[in-house]
Amino acid sequence: MQSNPGTAAGEASLSGVRVAYATGAAALVDVSLKLAPGEQVAVIGPSGAGKTTLLATLACAMRPVAGSVRVLGSDPWAQSAAALHALRRRLFLAPQQPPLPPRQRVVHAVLAGCLPQWSTWRALRSLIYPLDAEIARDALARFGLEDKLFLRCDKLSGGERQRVALARLIASNAELLLLDEPVSSLDPALAHSALEVLQVEASKRGATLVVSLHAVDLALARFGRIIGVRAGGVVFDLPRERVSDELLSDLYGTELNASLQALPGELAAVLRLSRCT
């Protein structure tokens, strides 16, 4: 795909953004943030804080009811539907649940990452015979899954499915990468190595990478900039050195303490200990 001259690759910003669900309830309230081209950011926060909505808003998949959005150098909601869709070709939003049809084979699930660059006919030809299997194989190899190339997606384990969905990102050439809990089904060691692959790829193509994570330790270990989200708002947006234990326990605080009180004392103590270590 051509790179558009004059538009900053990977740049995105939100200012005073408010996003509402279809029911009218607010999902994001007055959110402002700026992502520089090539930046790598982790978003953390309790369940239901708005991490997913934040990523979807950056991906032009949810339209704010107030505030302004700039993605890849333009205002997505001020342009024609065709221009908006062209903008979407340059970004990659990965939902938490790997979006793989159970009966699809891995090779096509990965090559689906190339669809924005492909013509309609090229896409059909690839389904008839996967001439670009090499692209898929190489993308899978980064996650140690090259032997799964011609398996069906429903033959994979949960962790394998999640990595196949990430291999689709490698096959794409998007400049703004927005990943919702991309390593939630992986064990700690695999989670680290998968994030490593994604971060290396992002810096190789100069793409901006935003990752939401529920594992705080992983976020602090791998990302220089941490955004804490709670109740639809940004609580902090800091370099990791300045993310203190107090900030973290405030971020997760009340919900966690409230739910811990409902548990038997011993179990609650174990959970309290394992938090923020």
Partner 1 sequence: MHVGVAPELRDPAWCGRVAVAVVFLVLLLPAGYLTEFNPATLWGETSLRALRQFLGSFFPPATSPEFLRLVMEAAWKTVAIATVGTAIAIAIALPAALAATRVLSISRIATGRMAMFPAVIRTGIRWLLIFLRSIPEIVWAMIFVRAVGLGDTAGVMAIGITYGGMLGKVYIEILESAENQSATVLLQNGAGRLQAFWYAALPVSLPELTSYTIYRWECAIRASVVMGFVGAGGLGQQMELSMKMLAGAEVLTMLLVFVALVWVADLVSALLRRALA
Name every residue whose Cβ is closer than 8 Å to that of residue 147 and which is 6 or more positions away in sequence: none
Name the phi and psi angles at 233, rounded to 5: -130, 160
**Least distance (Å) between residue 258 CB and partner 1:** 21
CB 208 within 8 A of CB 176: yes
Name residue 69's beta-bridge partners.
14
Among 50, 72, 92, 140, binds partner 1 (CB under 8 A): 92
163 near partner 1, rule: CB under 8 A: no
**Residue 94 binds to partner 1 (criterion: CB under 8 A):** yes
Choosing from 73, 95, 144, 233, the residue that interacts with partner 1 (CB under 8 A) is 95
138: helix, strand or coil: helix
Total residues binding partner 1 (CB under 8 A): 36
Smaller CB separation from partner 1, 97 or 193: 97
Determine the length of the chain: 277
Provide, rounded to whole angstroms, the least separation between the CB of residue 23 and partner 1: 11
Does residue 112 interact with partner 1 by CB under 8 A?
yes
Task: Answer yes or no whether residue 225 interacts with partner 1 by CB under 8 A.
Answer: no
The residues in 165-204 that bind partner 1, with binding defined as CB under 8 A, are 172, 174
User: 156 by DSSP, 3-state: which?
Assistant: coil
Can residue 91 be called a binding residue for partner 1 (CB under 8 A)?
yes
Q: List CB contacts of 202: < 8 A, sequence separation 6 or more.
A: 38, 40, 177, 208, 209
Which residue among 42, 72, 93, 106 contacts partner 1 (CB under 8 A)? 93
Among 29, 123, 133, 235, binds partner 1 (CB under 8 A): 123
Helix (H) or strand (E) holding 229: strand 225-230
- Contact code string over 15-54 relative to partner 1, x by CB under 8 A: -------x--------------------------------
Q: Look-up: residue for tokens 């990468």?
A: 177
- Region near partner 1 per CB under 8 A, out of 9-17, 36-44, 57-65, 202-210: 57-65
Burial (CB count within 10 angstroms: exposed 0-12, middle 13-18, buried 19+), residue 104: middle
The string of DSSP letters for 198-212 reads: HHHHHHHHT-EEEEE
Contact call for residue 100 and partner 1 (CB under 8 A): yes
Please identify, using beta-carbon distances, which residue of 17 and 248 lies nearer to partner 1: 17
Tell me the one-letter amino acid at 15: S
Cβ count near 77 (within 10 Å) = 12
Please pick, from the candidates 116, 133, 190, 268, the single residue that binds partner 1 as defined by CB under 8 A. 116
Tell me whether residue 131 or residue 271 sits nearer to partner 1 (CB atom). Answer: 131
- Residue in 90, 137, 148, 163 binding partner 1, rule: CB under 8 A: 90
Cβ-Cβ contacts under 8 Å for 226 (sequence gap 6 or more): 41, 42, 44, 219, 220, 236, 237, 238, 239, 240, 243
Residue 88 in contact with partner 1, rule: CB under 8 A = yes
Instruction: Give residues in contact with partner 1 (CB under 8 A).
Output: 22, 59-63, 81, 85-95, 97, 99-104, 108, 112, 115-116, 118, 120, 123-124, 127, 172, 174
